[in-house]
């Protein structure tokens, strides 16, 4: 796709063509609004003094809040979670050949990677036992608004490393798991993202 960034006061309008998504990540916490970071790779940039995008219509934006979020493991609510982080990467391979226009030939996707981090209060040994046994689990990150909109991101085969459990003071003990996903046997994919709203197409 092509993306334009405009600065009308200068004026400067930069059109980035051949954009592909390299990485998408977001954090889950107790408060605030859900904000994702998308890292793109573009083939080239064209600068103009007038916009090439016309006058796009405003998009009615309804944000998900972290307060509307929930995390479940194998269909059951996962408690004691302090924060979490999700990163999906296409691991793009940039084809940086020598060209007279200074552009790259393209960006080919290689092996996709789905990783993240879960920080929990150490109140039970469910995740630690899974890490020691080396078994996968299904973890689902869901957001539901009272008006009916929802977003669910399900990772079907999550593997957990054995964490370092540190006692650093008189407060509660917390453990951090840097998890990694793999392609599950059933369903035969790594993750599923489901968005429900009243917008027919983007």
Give the pLDDT score at 202. 72
- Residue 79: inside a domain, yes or no? yes
Q: Which residue has the tokens 């003990």?
A: 173
The total number of structural domains in the chain stands at: 1
pTM, entire model: 0.84
- Residue 12: inside a domain, yes or no? yes
Tokens read off for 52: 């090439």
- Residue 202: inside a domain, yes or no? no
Instruction: State the CATH number of the domain containing residue 70.
Output: 2.30.110
Give the pLDDT score at 67. 84
Give the pLDDT score at 126. 84
Give the pLDDT score at 199. 84
CB 26, CB 66: distance < 8 Å: no
CA angle 29, 178, 113 (to 5 degrees): 100
- Residue 56: inside a domain, yes or no? yes
Give the pLDDT score at 168. 73
Give the pLDDT score at 163. 80
Give the pLDDT score at 121. 84
- Residue 39: inside a domain, yes or no? yes
- Residue 201: inside a domain, yes or no? no
Q: In b/e form, how buried is each residue of 104-133, taking b as 16+ CB within 10 angstroms?
A: eeebeeeeeebbbebbbebeeebbbebbee
In the chain, which residues have pLDDT < 50?
A: none
Q: Which domain holds residue 33?
A: 3-196
- Residue 15: inside a domain, yes or no? yes
């Amino acid at each position: 796709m092509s993306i334009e960034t405009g600065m009308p006061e200068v004026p400067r309008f930069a059109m980035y063509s051949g954009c592909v998504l390299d990485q998408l990540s977001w954090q889950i916490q107790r408060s605030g609004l859900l904000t994702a970071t998308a890292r793109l790779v573009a083939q080239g940039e064209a600068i103009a003094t007038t916009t090439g995008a016309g006058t796009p219509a405003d998009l009615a934006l309804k944000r998900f809040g972290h307060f509307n979020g929930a995390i479940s493991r194998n269909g059951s609510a996962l408690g004691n979670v302090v924060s979490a982080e999700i990163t999906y990467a296409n691991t793009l391979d940039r084809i940086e050949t020598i060209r007279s226009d200074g552009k790259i030939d393209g960006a080919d996707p290689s092996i996709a990677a789905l990783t993240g981090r879960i920080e929990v209060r150490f109140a039970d040994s469910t995740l630690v036992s899974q890490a020691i046994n080396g078994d996968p689990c299904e973890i689902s990150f869901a957001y539901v608004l009272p008006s009916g909109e929802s977003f669910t991101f399900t990772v079907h085969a999550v593997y957990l490393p054995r964490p370092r459990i540190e006692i650093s003071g008189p407060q509660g003990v917390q453990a951090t798991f840097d998890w990694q996903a793999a392609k599950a046997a059933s369903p035969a994919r790594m993750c599923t993202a489901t968005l429900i709203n009243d917008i027919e197409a983007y």
